[in-house]
Structure 1
């Protein structure tokens, strides 16, 4: 029984280690933004005309504060969406063994591909929010729904040997 628990823990760690590495990468950037060690530059690099227009109207400091806040929210939302995707991959990963593929390798391939596009999705969401916001008032006002932060995340146990003894299925 102890041997089975050790094997389950080792398998779980093989899956969880990748997510933990990715979490550290993303949250290092998040902490730098939050602590103002990193200046948000998404608007400046992706839509410089909008950035200049907003800076003239509201001042560079206020635009930077707004972009920092929006970027932090989009990082949180992007991470929550990413975890939901990871969850859906985990639910079906045992089926990879039926096609004689290594479930761990397939899981890593899918998760790495999704993580590489995460930063682009975050940046696109920041730009879209600035492009769809009405700046008629003298304040930078954003829709509350677009800036809601996820309230929780979750953890799942993984077993990639769903059919441990496939001969019994026949």
Structure 2
């Protein structure tokens, strides 16, 4: 049984929900899984784990700066482990933008980071207009209008392909 650490960096919670599903599947497949936010992972001894998976969301076109700091500070350990990384973004709702090779945020991540995880994934996120404050609701609606996405600020729109998440979780379990 491997000791697996699943770390998430999320703004609105969809990345955490995806990580919880990945944890559930990996536990079913016989792994011991610890799920923590990035802030808690900074305090952990990463060498205690056999496998490490990081999931991170995008907001306004960027992963959070603390994600890159964490990777830089723990590069040697991450590089020595079975590892995976996935990004969650609404751009991935579009065909041709939903794979590690075609998603602009994964491409940018790989340009900015020297870490090369064994497994990469891209998942479409969720827009939850009622949950946002005025500024975020306005900005996300504007971005959706430009990119031909949903603009009804009373609505919640989930784009995550949960079957894709399940396949990724199973693939990570087998690493």
Higher fraction of helix: 1
Greater relative contact order, per chain length (Cα 8 Å cut-off, separation 6+): 1
TM-score w.r.t. the length of structure 1 is 0.26
**Higher normalized strand content (fraction of residues):** 2
